[in-house]
Amino acid sequence: MKRIFLLIVTNIAIMLVLSIVASLLGVDRYLTARGLNYGALLGFSAVFGFGGAFVSLAISKWMAKMSTGARVIEQPSNSAEMWLMNTVERQARAAGIGMPEVAIFDSPEPNAFATGMSRDSSLVAVSTGLLQSMNQDEIEAVLGHEITHVANGDMVTLTLVQGVVNTFVFFLSRVIGYLVDSALSRNDDRERGPGIGYSITVIVMQILLGFLASMVVAWFSRQREFRADAGGAHLAGKRKMIAALERLKAAHEIPSELPKQMTAFGIREGEGIMALFATHPPLDVRIAALQSSGGAVS
């Protein structure tokens, strides 16, 4: 799964858990005691929405390691690992961030990702497929791209965006749940609090609205990719960054053996309606953007 896709799915799961906790604590009963209290609901929505997003961010590095089986390099065991560590250290210093953890995960596809809660507590991981299929210049560009994600604070930025959309999902799912419950219940039933119609509707709408809201997060993610490409070109060289993207484009033309594995560098691009959920722009577009940049990096 992609780095951002993993964050989104984790966030939706956490929001569902928080929703259940809120119900058990009597929050929904309080909000609907005398008709729906929209002001209080909005306040609760913001607290739970941003809370869920930041919990997702806090466990993102752990989730990424667990989902990919990434092995953190504590002590380089060969020259390739030593070069990898030295390159990340040099780029991190140039980008003004703390030294990230560096990891390798087993996958035949050329993939890489960066995640973490802050600029000075991050993780950069590359796949075995990337190390085997790319030369050092191309790997350097990939690492520069990921380091730029960290330096730009992209995970925090997307978490804030996720918090905003979570707030609306939490709010709208309960408004819709209240309307459905009101249509199905008698007056005396409503006086005793929200019924089963409310609970079921809230859960269903939270899942549906959560995936729709992920399109907003995905759009922001696609915009950040262009900046990360520019940052990779700045740290490693424009020629190397374009060569890395060209290599990834060639890899796309080969049917994937593991289509569900993490492809945080943009290995798989959505088609049709799935393009709305894509966290990375098409590689052709990214290459064209770099080629037309005239060497300027923003």
Residue 45 and residue 31: Cα distance in Å, rounded? 11
Q: How confident is the model at residue 52 (pLDDT cuts 50, 70, 90)?
A: confident
Per-residue pLDDT of 264-290, as tens digits, reads 334 445 556 667 778 888 999 999 999
Helix 3-24 to helix 60-68 angle, to the nearest 10 degrees? 120
Domain coordinates in residue numbering, the chain: 3-61+156-211, 68-152+221-291
Give 139's strand partners: none
CATH architecture of 68-152+221-291: 2-Layer Sandwich (3.30)
Q: How far is CA 286 from the centre of its chain?
A: 19
E runs forming strands in the chain: 71-72, 101-105, 112-118, 121-127
**Of all residues in the chain, what percent carry a pLDDT higher than 90?**
43
Residue 47 and residue 289: Cα distance in Å, rounded? 39
Per-residue pLDDT of 80-110, as tens digits, reads 999 999 999 999 999 999 999 999 999 998 9
In terms of DSSP bridges, do strands 112-118 and 121-127 run parallel, antiparallel, or are they unpaired?
antiparallel
Per-residue pLDDT of 140-181, as tens digits, reads 999 999 999 999 999 889 889 989 998 999 899 989 988 888
- Mean pLDDT along residues 223-237: 95
Active site residues: 146
pLDDT of residue 96: 96
**Of all residues in the chain, what percent carry a pLDDT higher than 70?**
84
E runs forming strands in 119-170: 121-127
